[in-house]
Amino acid sequence: MDPVKPEVLQGTLDLMVLKALDALGPLHGYGIARRIEQVSGNVLALNEGTVYTAVVRLEGRGWIASKWGVSENNRRARYYAITRSGRRQLLREEESWKRFSGVVGRFLDLEGEK
């Protein structure tokens, strides 16, 4: 698959993190990375560290909140959870994504019709 453009990637990554947290509840960085890896089926070749870039962005916008907890291997880790405004943002993003893909889909169908 062709490498995806970084800006699109950024936005998409943020969306995926939000969705992951929405679906699975509070996760730490490693957990989020695993979830994304799982769902995308390793297609998105990302460094694990980029999760943190997304997380910091999201926390800055107030869409997720963090709390310290203990990880599976008994170490201190920050757990992130989606906030109410985060959920609203997620809905917004889902809407616009559906709309976008709908439109593109129609175009592609058009092409197909020819």
Residues at the contact surface with other proteins, assessed by CB under 8 A: 28-30, 33, 47-50, 52-53, 56-57, 59-62, 71-73, 75-78
User: Nearer Cβ to other proteins, position 25 or 105?
Assistant: 25
For residue 31, the 8-state DSSP code is H
User: Nearer Cβ to other proteins, position 48 or 95?
Assistant: 48
Q: Output the CA–CA distances (angstroms, integers) from residue 51 to 32, 42, 63, in the order listed.
A: 7, 15, 15
Minimum separation from the CB atom of position 2 to other proteins (A)? 21
How many other CB atoms sit within 10 Å of the CB of residue 82? 23
Minimum separation from the CB atom of position 81 to other proteins (A)? 15
Minimum separation from the CB atom of position 61 to other proteins (A)? 6
Q: Output the CA–CA distances (angstroms, integers) from residue 23 to 20, 35, 98, 100, 108, in the order listed.
A: 5, 10, 18, 22, 31
User: Nearer Cβ to other proteins, position 12 or 71?
Assistant: 71
